[in-house]
Structure formats: C-alpha cells, structure tokens
Amino acid sequence: MRILVVTIPLLLAMGCDLDDVLTTDTEDIELVTQGKGIYDEHCIGCHQADGTGGAGELAADFIADRERLAKSDFELLASIRDGREGAMGMMPPWKEILTPYEMRAGLAYLRAEFGD
C-alpha cells in the first residue's frame, strides 16, 4: 500500500492522467472474482471465510502468519497443485480437481483478500 501512496503523486507529477493511474485491469478483477468462487467452494471449509484457518487449528492462517502469502506464486501454486504436509495435517493436492487457471484464480483471490 505504501508503494501506491508514493507512486500516484509521482505519476501525476510526471503528467499522467489520474484515470490512467487508477485503472484496474479487467482480467485481474475477473480472476479474483472467479477465485472467490473457487475459494468458497473448495477452500473455505478448512481455511475459513476470514482466512484464519480456525486460528491455524484447521489449516494455514493467512492473517496471523504473514509468511504464508509472502511466498512466490510458483511456491504457492505448487502447494495447491501437489498438496502440502503441515503442522495440522495434509492439505490435499488439487491437480485432479482444479485446472491450472482455477488454481491461479484461487491464489489471486487469496492475495487480494488476505495479502498485504
């Protein structure tokens, strides 16, 4: 968020139009919207609606453990695709259930909803 605060005044000072600076890519919005559906259907049971995973008792807590979403997309998509052994048990692999696009959409939602 700090980057945005510094970047917008700089871009405006360079003569950029405010509408151009604040325009959000429609594909990103669609990806996040579809990702919410994926999360609600496949992830919410363990990770919970608030992303806390029942305070980390059921699944990864995206709120208290900021290191989770600090990982690269590559690392997180591999965990989604192949599953992951964690302190509370095994997150199942989703490669037989979700398409690569659906996995990417789910991750986009995680980052938008629970990331910094």
CA distances from 25 to 15, 42, 72, 86 (A): 21, 26, 21, 35
CB count within 10 Å of CB 92 equals: 14
Q: What is the pLDDT of residue 69?
A: 93
- Percent of the chain having pLDDT more than 70? 77
CA dihedral angle for residue 115, residue 33, residue 108, residue 23, rounded to 10 degrees: -80
Q: Write the CATH number of the domain with boundaries 24-114.
A: 1.10.760.10
CB count within 10 Å of CB 59 equals: 20
Sketch the domain layout of the chain as residue ranges: 24-114
Widest pairwise Cα distance in the chain: 53
Q: What are 9-48's pLDDT values in tens digits?
A: 544 555 554 444 444 455 689 999 999 999 999 999 999 9
List the single range of 22-26, 45-49, 90-94, 112-116 with lowest mean pLDDT: 22-26
